[in-house]
Structure formats: structure tokens, C-alpha cells
Amino acid sequence: MNTLKRYLELIVDPTFDEFDAKPDVRLAFLTSVAIFHSVDRIAEQTGEKAATLRQRWCKESLDFKLVDVIAHHFKHVRSSDEKIPADKPGIAIGHVLGFNEVGDTLDLRNLSYVIRDAVRFVHLKAGTHHPALQ
């Protein structure tokens, strides 16, 4: 499962399929984490640092960036992208994504499109496609 193609087949695609069939917060998180860790497979294959690839992929795909935020939000309570310094104007990306104040609910309506397009993005990186997302 060290190649991105195999990781997509075994982990990302089935997890996305479950989320797509029955969207809920738990599956949104698991799908986001699975998509986010796709970067590790490319790093293993190329020898490039995963952090460097992550930064590049986040610049290339807003959907991948948002999945990164979701994965880190649940892992760390709040991702670094959600922390706005007190002296800076702005709105936390978590609120835009639909996290409530407690951080345990999510607006899944729009997020399903973000996750779907992030799956397409990592498949593009693998040179493959999700069977249901032609």
C-alpha cells in the first residue's frame, strides 16, 4: 500500500464512498484524514519531504487545502489555519466550513463537494480516477 494508486484503492475511495452514501461528521473527518495522508504516499515514492508536498498541494488545490484544515481541526481541536491573531481582521476558516462554536458539527452540504473534488485532485496526482467520479 506504499503507492498512491494502491492507497487510493484501499483507503481513500472506500472511505469516500461511505461518506458519499451517508454524509456525517465522523465520515467527513475520516475521509479528510485519508485524503490528506495521500501526500505521504507520494513522499515515499519520490523521496521528497511530505511537508513540502503538502504545501505545494495546498497551493495547487483549494479543495485539498480545506481537507487539510478539516483533518487538522479534528486532530488538534483547531488547525493553524483557523488561528487568527487578535490584531488581524478575518474569519476563521472553520466557521466558513460550518464548524459550530464547539467544533463538533459541520455543514456537510457544501463540504461534500470539497471532499469530492479533493478526491479527484489526489487521483489526478496518481494518474488515476475514482470509478464513480469520471
In a domain, 108, yes or no: yes
Q: What angle do CA 104, 24, 6 make, to 5 degrees?
A: 115
pLDDT tens digits, the chain, 134 residues: what are they?
A: 679 999 999 999 999 999 999 988 889 889 999 999 999 999 988 899 999 999 999 999 999 998 988 887 765 454 444 455 455 554 555 555 666 555 556 667 788 889 999 999 999 999 999 988 87
C-alpha cell at 9: 484503492
Q: In the prediction, which pLDDT does 108 show?
A: 75
In a domain, 134, yes or no: no
Domain of residue 50, residue span = 4-126
- The tally of domains found in the chain comes to 1
In a domain, 91, yes or no: yes
Kindly report the pTM of this predicted structure.
Answer: 0.81
In a domain, 132, yes or no: no
Q: In the prediction, which pLDDT does 100 show?
A: 58
Q: In the prediction, which pLDDT does 14 show?
A: 97
DSSP 84-112: --TTS----HHHHHT--SSS----HHHHH
In a domain, 131, yes or no: no
Q: In the prediction, which pLDDT does 2 show?
A: 78
In a domain, 133, yes or no: no
Cα–Cα distance between 98 and 130 in angstroms, integer? Answer: 26
